[in-house]
Chains A and B, each alone.
Chain A
């Protein structure tokens, strides 16, 4: 399987990124290399191997359902480039 320029454009669009034609070609090459590397895995017999979903083998790390306040509204909004007293402000969005 090899990555086309259209694939690169689709992935860029999904990631909300924009690239020049030159960058796209470079990305196409990089992606093909990564895929080629992963392709090697297909040569292995993984019939009886469980997928590794997490490099951490522990299970059931959970916490009690107890409230602990952390940030005030003021602190939460501190880094926001645009805000009102209580809300984050973003450019108008309609479609979801």
Chain B
């Protein structure tokens, strides 16, 4: 049975605001430090005192162009700033300095990869530079609001997508990709909890196959991937139900309430702001000429998609591995440093390194909720551990045991696996004589099982291997154990 929801296709466009990682604000020399005490990063310019003049932060322009280049945008040679006028207590000047008709970057696109492995191109309409507003604290009292202007004037870029997005999955995948690029470019910390990345979603629905757009609504200020996804789902459902009931969807600004998973209109079209944009007379024209753009191009890091391809080609690891390893810039650097430190340089070694970083290291990071930057095992020590394994000086059981030990050790030398191995006497036993003795001991101790084995229960071999490994404290070389065990059993 097909439901009413299957008849419709959602059309979504996202506006992503990303806070730039500059030291100072967009138009004054105040610090952008998020953690400073309220109203300490302020000056007459960002407080909107009369007679003050803004001056553009060079890095903001540089960062905006970097993002444009990374998302296949055209860079506008001459652009200007505009004033967006509205009154709100967290906006000191009564206007926000932004870009209106001449965004610095335009006509770009990125590709996203969906769960079903298909790829989709999402167009980017524009990227422009602007300043953030201050922060209001509403729960201070019933009659008053507190305002902190530390964030007022902090540089943002706004990345506006084309309405190319057709599901909540596509929306968050797109947003994750944008975040990944921002972090790779080192222009935004990508921290959604601290508000470094926020999103407005424009949502409409139309009958499948229809070419025309339905009326859209705009959901403001979504600050987590989950909220983006949930808010879009909720709003799509609301619009389809309204349409099915013969109501018309009308333009409105909505807020999403994560608690009861509803969207509510805060402002209708009649109340819509008229921002009365006009050119900002206090700032001169920006001229992004070829020399400037080439200078920025030459400083660009490798983009995540290129790095993914290179990992697959250079290290012969599966695309799945490369995707995970390049998901974060720092993680990809860690992995590559492990490879550099490895003594064994072959495909088997690279795959081992990939497995360790992708499984064991990431598991630890997830368990204790830290970033790779805070991970206490330096690349060289993980590489040494992997080398020991590759050279069959230890088996995987001992490797994991050593890994656990290394996690608890502070100093680089203290956790050197080569030293730990000697200290703890965990070196793999490959001495056939010694292993043979253990096998004989175990078999003598298990007469019943040996009888059953001889009776045809061949799978009991596994039980013997387990016992032998335990007897050797996990140090016996499993390959030799298997060989010698079979020989012994056959000889019985």
Contacts and interface: CB of A to CB of B under 8 A. Distances in A.
Q: Tell me whether A and B are bound partners.
A: yes
| SS of A interface (majority) | loop
Interface in B130-174: 136-138, 140-149
Given A54-B285, A95-B266, A64 B146 contact: no
B71 to A, nearest CB: 23
A92 interface: yes
A70 B285 contact: no
Given A54-B285, A73-B38, A87 B55 contact: no
A54 B284 contact: yes
A66 B58 CA distance: 10
B139 to A, nearest CB: 11
B144 A89 contact: yes
A62 interface: yes
B145 to A, nearest CB: 5
B389 interface: no
Interface in B12-65: 22-24, 28-31, 37-40, 42-44, 47, 55-59, 61
Contacts of A72: 40
Interface residues of B, number: 51
Given A60-B284, A65-B23, A87-B148, A92 B58 contact: no
Contacts of A56: 284
A77 B42 CA distance: 10
B285 A53 contact: yes
Interface string A57-96: 0111111111111111100110000101011111111111
B284 A61 contact: yes
Contacts, number: 129
Interface of A: 10, 14, 16, 53-56, 58-73, 76-77, 82, 84, 86-96
Nearest to B88: A96
15 contacts: A10-B274, A54-B284, A54-B285, A59-B285, A62-B57, A63-B57, A67-B24, A69-B43, A71-B42, A77-B39, A87-B140, A88-B39, A88-B147, A89-B147, A91-B144
B145 A60 contact: no
Interface string B359-402: 00000000000000000000000000000000000000000000
Given A54-B281, A54-B284, A72-B40, A89 B24 contact: no
A67 B146 contact: no
Given A87-B137, A93-B89, 19 more contacts: A54-B279, A54-B281, A56-B284, A62-B57, A66-B29, A67-B29, A67-B31, A70-B30, A71-B47, A73-B38, A76-B42, A86-B38, A86-B39, A86-B148, A88-B39, A89-B147, A92-B144, A94-B138, A96-B266
A84 B140 CA distance: 11
B85 interface: yes
A88 B31 contact: no
Contacts of B80: 53-54
Contacts of A84: 146
Contacts of B144: 82, 89-92
Nearest to B79: A53
Most chain-B Cβ atoms within 10 A of its Cβ — which of A90, A91, A96?
A96
A62 B58 contact: yes
B286 A90 contact: no
Contact of B146 (A14, A59, A87, A96): A87
B213 interface: no
Interface in B233-286: 266-267, 274, 276, 279, 281, 283-286
Contacts of A67: 23-24, 29-31
Contacts of B149: 76, 88
Given A16-B87, A59-B285, A76-B42, A90 B29 contact: no
Given A65-B24, A95-B266, A59 B284 contact: yes
Nearest to B60: A65
A59 B287 contact: yes
